[in-house]
Amino acid sequence: MKDEIYKKPLQNQEKFEFSQKVAGVFDDMISRSVPYYEANQIMTSQMTVEFYKENSMIYDLGCSIGTTAHFLNKAFGSSGFSYTGIDNSKPMIEEADKKINEFGKWHNIQFVLGDIENYDYKNTSVVIANYTFQFIPPERRLLLLQNIFSKLCAGGILLLSEKVIEKNQTFSRIFSQLHHNMKKAHGYSDLEIIQKRDALEDVLIPNTTDQNLELLKDAGFQNVAIYHKWYNFASYIALKT
Ligand X SMILES: C[S@@+](CC[C@H](N)C(=O)[O-])C[C@H]1O[C@@H](n2cnc3c(N)ncnc32)[C@H](O)[C@@H]1O
Residue from 64, 73, 232, 235 that binds ligand X (CB under 6 A)?
64
Contact between 51 and ligand X by CB under 6 A: the answer reads: no
Q: Which stretch binds ligand X (CB under 6 A): 7-15, 62-70, 171-179, 180-188?
A: 62-70
Alpha carbon distance 214, 205 (integer Å)? 16
In the complex, least distance from residue 133 CB atom to ligand X, rounded to whole angstroms: 9
Residue from 31, 88, 176, 211 that binds ligand X (CB under 6 A)?
88
Using alpha carbons, select from 146, 150, 175 the residue that is nearest to residue 163: 175
Residue from 36, 121, 135, 230 that binds ligand X (CB under 6 A)?
135
Where do the H-state alpha helices sit in the chain?
Answer: 20-33, 37-51, 67-76, 90-98, 138-151, 169-185, 190-200, 209-218
Using alpha carbons, select from 126, 145, 114, 159 the residue that is nearest to residue 216: 145
Q: Which stretch binds ligand X (CB under 6 A): 129-137, 151-159, 194-202, 209-217?
A: 129-137
Contact between 188 and ligand X by CB under 6 A: the answer reads: no
For 201-221, give the DSSP string.
TTTS-PEEHHHHHHHHHHTT-
Contact between 147 and ligand X by CB under 6 A: the answer reads: no
Q: Is 178 helix (H, G, I), strand (E, B) or coil?
A: helix
Binding site for ligand X (CB under 6 A): 18, 30, 62-64, 67-68, 86-89, 92, 115-117, 130-132, 135-136
